[in-house]
Chain A
Amino acid sequence: MADSAAARREEPLVLGIETSCDETGVGIVRGTTLLADAVASSVDEHARFGGVVPEVASRAHLEAMVPTIERALKEAGVTARDLDGVAVTAGPGLAGALLVGVSAAKAYAYALGKPLYGVNHLASHICVDQLEHGPLPEPTMALLVSGGHSSLLLSSDITSDVRPMGATIDDAAGEAFDKVARVLNLGFPGGPVIDRYAREGDPSAIAFPRGLTGPRDAPYDFSFSGLKTAVARWIEAKRAAGEEVPVRDVAASFQEAVVDVLTRKAVRVCKDEGVDHLMIGGGVAANSRLRALAQERCEAAGIRLRVPRPKLCTDNGAMVAALGAEMVARNRAASAWDLSADSSLPVTESHVPGHGHHEGHDHVHEVSKENLYS
């Protein structure tokens, strides 16, 4: 849908709430300017489980929400009355965790008499780059990589047109990092620690497999499950033989296999689609080798690379506020008060407009109600 006749509303002040996983994020933006980015993480509570425990995350969101909103308002130096809208991640994500944020956002918007925007977590990961590098070029190709997703998305308008080009068919890239870190006894989360060890290792020491890179494989899809298994087998064989595991070389070789495939496919889809801007977002975008290799390959291919700073790449409320502000700026319909969390909200739905404002899709929000209340 094209922008409506109404003029673009400049610089709306929007508060965004994010609770799709283990970070309670509250951000405040004015247009494309970041004013506050308050995050409370329950990551330490999940560490001993080696992964995010949904109920632990949901409990933590409930406790952290009000203090985090207060912190964000203070940091931004604005009062709630001045807001032009409240945005919240409606999905995808952990159902119970999302519901805490959606409940808070609805109550906050309602109590303040402000419009509510239930937005897509993945579109928010893309839109956050506006806070770092200014308005998104249209179209933009996005490579989103985190513990929950690994996707290539093409967007010509972040509020209404996001097209999936490719995605992982099994594990997310971040999951593979977590699992390999666990096999190496390096703790959770795996991303930062693997990155650290890999810096001192040899990325070509071990030839780990590159998934889905055969001539007949889907050109833009990913697979990290086979790689993860290959790494675990390799380590176990070393241990069985009583040899010491070269942690740094394993970390470097594994990481190289992941980022090689991610960047190769991202550049390929940009070329195939004639898109000259690539943004990389999601927690794994903080990986130093991914940034370096993406920069190298984009330069060689004449593609402009945009990667927000690490704190904006991981889950946060600022990214939700950034997309909310874009919704306000482009006069998108606000969500209704019966907005619900949708753990499998399709990536094509940048936001969940209120009744009678559906923009050419007819997805019915009946998904995953079962696991909401398990």
Chain B
Amino acid sequence: MLLLALDTATPAVTVALHDGTSVLASSNQVDARRHGELLLPAVDRVLAEAGTRLDAVTGVVVGVGPGPYTGLRVGLMTADTFGLALGVPVHGLCTLDALAYEAAGTDLGGPFVVATDARRKEVYWARYEDPRTRVTEPAVDRPADLAEAVAGLPAVGAGAALYPDAFPDVRGPEHVSAAALAALAAERLAAGAELLPPRPLYLRRPDAQVPKNYKVVTPK
């Protein structure tokens, strides 16, 4: 197995290569505005560092978000097209799950919450029983509205760090890494679990204003 993992659902542009046992190479950059520019050179670097080529990859795993749309689509479109060109399967994995999995090395001592920045004063979030077990569907909400749902829970992720009132106890990694995404995907695939289809979790409808119509209906 040679899994190429990538995630652009958050400000992190992250790529990793995993052989089913361990991470062979990875790249982590944080730049919320340059996903499109950074992703492919990062893939190229990671492959070179691992001494291999893209056509040796046997599968692609991509973070499906939730995340701000424009950046999110860069990773998904790249993964989709790699899959098409290489004829290999493309798997999706919730970006929040990868961040939770990455927090396994942190002493969380029980349930916790993962939150990423959804902009517009909102966070994408979910609750976890442990780093492998999500117990709520990913959602987008204003932090103030979450007080009850996340009360007393430690929080992981840059979205939590932005809102100390709602998330007073922030721990663990700030950003998702494709190394965690790849490791979690490899673990789930080895266990025979189904991953998600590589389709985006937008969680919001597109912004669109329906223009005011003229009241008079002209006869056709």
Fill in one digit per residue for A335-354: 1 if any B CB lies within 8 Å of its CB, else 0.
00111110000000000000
Residues of A within 8 A of B208 (CB): 49, 53, 55-56
- State A27–B62 Cα separation when bound (angstroms): 27
Question: Which of A102-110, A136-144, A209-217 lies at the interface?
Answer: A102-110
Return the contact of A99 from the options B36, B41, B211 (Cβ within 8 A): B36
Residues of A within 8 A of B82 (CB): 107, 111
Return the contact of A340 from the options B36, B44, B200, B219 (Cβ within 8 A): B36
B70 touches A96 (CB 8 A): yes
Question: What distance in Å separates the Cβ of A22 from its nearest Cβ neighbour in chain B?
Answer: 13
B21 at the interface (CB under 8 A from A): no
Known: A51-B211, A103-B39. A58 touches B70 (CB 8 A): yes
- State A58–B36 Cα separation when bound (angstroms): 14
Residues of A within 8 A of B77 (CB): 62, 65, 100, 103-104, 107
Is chain B's interface secondary structure helix, strand, loop, or mixed overall?
A: helix
Fill in one digit per residue for A309-348: 1 if any B CB lies within 8 Å of its CB, else 0.
0000000000000000000000000000111110000000
Fill in one digit per residue for B74-88: 1 if any A CB lies within 8 Å of its CB, else 0.
101111111111100
Question: Which of A166-174, A181-189, A260-268, A296-304 lies at the interface?
Answer: A181-189
9 CB contacts below 8 A, A to B, read A55-B208, A59-B206, A70-B84, A99-B74, A103-B81, A107-B81, A108-B81, A110-B54, A340-B34
A206 at the interface (CB under 8 A from B): no
Q: Tell me the B residues contacting A by CB distance below 8 Å.
A: 32-34, 36-41, 43-44, 54-55, 68-71, 73-74, 76-86, 200, 202, 206-211, 213-214, 216-220
Known: A340-B34, A373-B70. A182 touches B202 (CB 8 A): no
Question: What distance in Å separates the Cβ of A199 from its nearest Cβ neighbour in chain B?
Answer: 15
Fill in one digit per residue for A45-60: 1 if any B CB lies within 8 Å of its CB, else 0.
0001111010110110
A369 at the interface (CB under 8 A from B): yes
- State A53–B2 Cα separation when bound (angstroms): 39
Residues of A within 8 A of B200 (CB): 59, 62
B206 touches A55 (CB 8 A): yes
- Minimum-distance CB pairs A-B, first 7: A111-B85, A55-B206, A107-B81, A103-B77, A53-B208, A107-B78, A337-B40
**Size bin of chain A's contact surface:** 35 or more
Known: A66-B84, A69-B84, A110-B40. A48 touches B210 (CB 8 A): yes
A244 at the interface (CB under 8 A from B): yes
Question: What distance in Å separates the Cβ of B207 from its nearest Cβ neighbour in chain A?
Answer: 6
Residues of B within 8 A of A275 (CB): none
B54 touches A103 (CB 8 A): no
Interface residues of A in 50-83 (CB under 8 A from B): 50-51, 53, 55-56, 58-59, 62, 65-66, 69-70, 80
A58 touches B73 (CB 8 A): yes
Residues of A within 8 A of B43 (CB): 110
Return the contact of B32 from the options A49, A65, A373 (Cβ within 8 A): A373
Residues of B within 8 A of A49 (CB): 208-211
Known: A106-B40, A110-B44, A185-B217. A65 touches B80 (CB 8 A): yes
**Chain B residue at minimum C-beta to C-beta distance from A99:** B36
Besides A107-B81, A111-B55, 10 other CB < 8 A contacts?
Answer: A58-B70, A62-B77, A96-B70, A96-B73, A103-B73, A107-B78, A185-B216, A338-B37, A338-B40, A340-B34
**Chain B residue at minimum C-beta to C-beta distance from A108:** B81
A237 at the interface (CB under 8 A from B): no
Known: A55-B69, A104-B77. A112 touches B85 (CB 8 A): yes
A247 at the interface (CB under 8 A from B): yes
**Chain A residue at minimum C-beta to C-beta distance from B219:** A244
Return the contact of A183 from the options B85, B206, B214 (Cβ within 8 A): B214
**Chain B residue at minimum C-beta to C-beta distance from A372:** B70
**Chain A residue at minimum C-beta to C-beta distance from B68:** A373
A66 touches B36 (CB 8 A): no
A66 touches B81 (CB 8 A): yes
A271 at the interface (CB under 8 A from B): no
Residues of A within 8 A of B69 (CB): 55, 58-59, 96
A245 at the interface (CB under 8 A from B): yes
Fill in one digit per residue for A362-374: 1 if any B CB lies within 8 Å of its CB, else 0.
0000000110111
Residues of B within 8 A of A370 (CB): 33
- State A141–B37 Cα separation when bound (angstroms): 34
**Chain B residue at minimum C-beta to C-beta distance from A179:** B211
- State A244–B216 Cα separation when bound (angstroms): 10
Question: What distance in Å separates the Cβ of A74 from its nearest Cβ neighbour in chain B?
Answer: 13
Residues of B within 8 A of A59 (CB): 69, 200, 202, 206
- State A341–B76 Cα separation when bound (angstroms): 16
Residues of B within 8 A of A110 (CB): 40, 43-44, 54
- State A51–B33 Cα separation when bound (angstroms): 27
A8 at the interface (CB under 8 A from B): no
B214 touches A99 (CB 8 A): no
- State A106–B39 Cα separation when bound (angstroms): 10
Question: What distance in Å separates the Cβ of B205 from its nearest Cβ neighbour in chain A?
Answer: 9
Residues of B within 8 A of A245 (CB): 216, 218
